[in-house]
Structure 1
Amino acid sequence: MRIAAIVPCHNEAGAIGKVVRELQAAVPAAEVYVYDNRSDDNTADVARAAGAIVRFEERKGKGNVVRRAFADIDADVYLLIDGDDTYDAAAAPQLIEKLLEGPYDQVTGVRRPESDAAYRSGHALGNRFFNGIVGMIFAYRVDDMLSGYRVFSKRFVRSFPALSRGFEIETELTVHSISARIPQAQLSVGFRDRAEGTESKLRTYHDGQRILRTVLKLALHERPVQAYGMIAALLAAVALILGVPIVVEFISTGLVPRLPTALLASSLMILSGLALIVGMLMDVLRKIRDESSRLAYLSWEVVGHVR
């Protein structure tokens, strides 16, 4: 069984060597691939000296790295872990064992902070917010949507489109597994403060906005009837509020005293109907896409149980 550990990194010379060595010690059978995402320090040299296979992705963004790695590497089990030495690499065997025992197609490492400094309050609050939003939209409990520590089966990787460019890739991974009803599990893993002299690449507000846009976009794509139905209901409600008094007055007097308002109400009701039609058409396309994705998913064999 071939195991590939994928480590996206950007300017992580101070941490990448330790991550590679810990992965080699935890999973000796794994091939460790470090993907240098336009670093301007000696990250690649340090990773290579530690024994990793170093590859480069010139398009900036973690999503681009994951997309490239999933296309390049052929393995039975894929381990994804950030190169900043914040995740406990020693937990990798438990994640892999869980994946194979299920058998599951994704196992997510739910972060368990080892100190107060490990998890910035803004990031923790944002993560809980996005967990709640995704859980509400897709009716599925999510404990750590933005975790960068995951293990995948080959059939998950081969059926995953990987459209995101940046940190929103974790959102796409989570929503893909929920929408496709792929067997998945979660395990608690240690999460520690970053190595001294390094800083997080995640920009709380900027990347938070991008993640929120991704969640809303995926909601439109994966739950079109509900999403467009809400838009249609809102437009219809506004149209009725504006239009009912005018209709009542017309019935009583035969006059239309506020023609612009009447036109606006009529237009909003037409848009409401169009939104509902678009939602139903998008739902048909979603079903076709889901069928194609399911067939691609089923075309790959399941890796056998550990025991």
Structure 2
Amino acid sequence: MIDVVLPCLNEAPALPAVLTGLPAGFRAIVVDNGSTDGSAEVAERHGATVVQEPTRGFGAAAHAGLLAATADVVCFADADGSLDLAELPRVAFPVRDGAADLVLGRRRPTSAAAWPLHGRVANAVLAHRLRRAAGLPLRDLGPMRAAPREALRALDLRDRRFGYPLEMVLRAGAAGWRVTEVDVSYGPRAAGTRSKVTGSVRGTARAVRDMSRLLAGAR
């Protein structure tokens, strides 16, 4: 069994399709980060383990899911329907089989509407800075990723906001992990949901600010 951590804030419209799309051998841990739309109840009805994390922040939710996980390999993914969770084996199996320590899904948009321009530009800039700061050959800070649970917990990640995914990559690189990426599909999120990062210029700016702080410290 492989655990899949799904940080969640008001994703009720997306959750049924997201959770029924999990491939065999993968178990969902939905971390409710203060939803007001019944996301937790929807997740429970669809067989997910639900963890409540009252402290707001993507990193707070993601880390709570990591602490709740029990499988040897842990994946992370967005809960808004933008990712095809049927592709999780592509990301998780290299870790399971010992071929990599951290695998990120490099997003390949299925349509122009899937990834707004401001989100693509911000991601490209941050990935370029990451390559320079950490020497890792990555083109995307993809939200679908996988790593060994115990080793990931040992990284002692501290960021509890949007910088959490980047801190994971930076600390993994500094620890000598084998970090790689594979292509995954990236489509429009489910109707009735909104990305907390790329869905608005303001959200993207917050993420860039949090990540820039981490990159500055890595130099």
Tell me which interval the TM-score lies in, with the shorter structure as reference length.
over 0.9
Q: Does 1:126 align with 2:122?
A: yes
Counterparts of 1:158 and 1:61, CA distance in 2: 18
Tell me, yes or no, if the aligned pair for 1:66 and 1:162 is still in contact at 8 Å.
no
Tell me, yes or no, if the aligned pair for 2:9 and 2:35 is still in contact at 8 Å.
yes
The DSSP-based 3-state class of the residue aligned with 1:104 is coil
Counterparts of 1:83 and 1:45, CA distance in 2: 14
Structure-1 residue corresponding to 2:173:
178
Deviation per CA, 1:123-160, whole angstroms, max 9, x where unpaired? 10011101111111222222112x11001113432322
The DSSP-based 3-state class of the residue aligned with 1:198 is coil
Structure-2 residue corresponding to 1:69:
65
Letter in 2 for 1:56: Q
Structure-1 residue corresponding to 2:207:
207
Counterparts of 2:85 and 2:73, CA distance in 1: 16
Tell me, yes or no, if the aligned pair for 2:162 and 2:206 is still in contact at 8 Å.
no
Tell me, yes or no, if the aligned pair for 2:137 and 2:180 is still in contact at 8 Å.
no
TM-score (normalizing by structure 1): 0.67
TM-score (normalizing by structure 2): 0.92
Counterparts of 1:128 and 1:96, CA distance in 2: 24
Tell me, yes or no, if the aligned pair for 1:104 and 1:153 is still in contact at 8 Å.
no
Counterparts of 2:139 and 2:154, CA distance in 1: 23
Q: How does 1:18-167 map to 2 (within 5 A)?
A: 18-23=17-22, 26=23, 28-145=24-141, 147-167=142-162
Tell me, yes or no, if the aligned pair for 1:35 and 1:54 is still in contact at 8 Å.
yes
How far residue 46 of structure 1 moved from its aligned partner, in angstroms, is 0.9
Structure-1 residue corresponding to 2:9:
10
Letter in 2 for 1:120: P
Letter in 1 for 2:87: A
Letter in 1 for 2:44: R
Letter in 1 for 2:38: N
Identity %: 28
Letter in 2 for 1:214: L
How far residue 198 of structure 1 moved from its aligned partner, in angstroms, is 1.6
RMSD (Å) for aligned C-alpha atoms: 1.4
How many aligned positions are there? 214
Counterparts of 2:8 and 2:92, CA distance in 1: 22
Letter in 2 for 1:6: V
Letter in 2 for 1:71: L
Structure-1 residue corresponding to 2:200:
none
Counterparts of 1:200 and 1:95, CA distance in 2: 22
**Runs of at least 5 residues in structure 2 that lack an aligned partner in the other structure:** 198-202
How far residue 102 of structure 1 moved from its aligned partner, in angstroms, is 4.0
Tell me, yes or no, if the aligned pair for 2:15 and 2:81 is still in contact at 8 Å.
yes
Counterparts of 1:103 and 1:169, CA distance in 2: 24
Query: Higher relative contact order at CA 8 Å, sep ≥6: structure 1 or structure 2?
Result: 2
Counterparts of 1:135 and 1:173, CA distance in 2: 14
Counterparts of 2:15 and 2:209, CA distance in 1: 28
Moved more, 33-42 or 131-140: 131-140
Moved more, 84-93 or 99-108: 99-108
Counterparts of 1:208 and 1:133, CA distance in 2: 11
The DSSP-based 3-state class of the residue aligned with 1:83 is coil
Tell me, yes or no, if the aligned pair for 2:91 and 2:146 is still in contact at 8 Å.
yes
Tell me, yes or no, if the aligned pair for 2:5 and 2:66 is still in contact at 8 Å.
no
**Runs of at least 5 residues in structure 1 that lack an aligned partner in the other structure:** 224-307
Q: How does 1:183-194 map to 2 (within 5 A)?
A: 183-194=178-189
How far residue 69 of structure 1 moved from its aligned partner, in angstroms, is 1.9
Letter in 1 for 2:91: L
The DSSP-based 3-state class of the residue aligned with 1:117 is helix
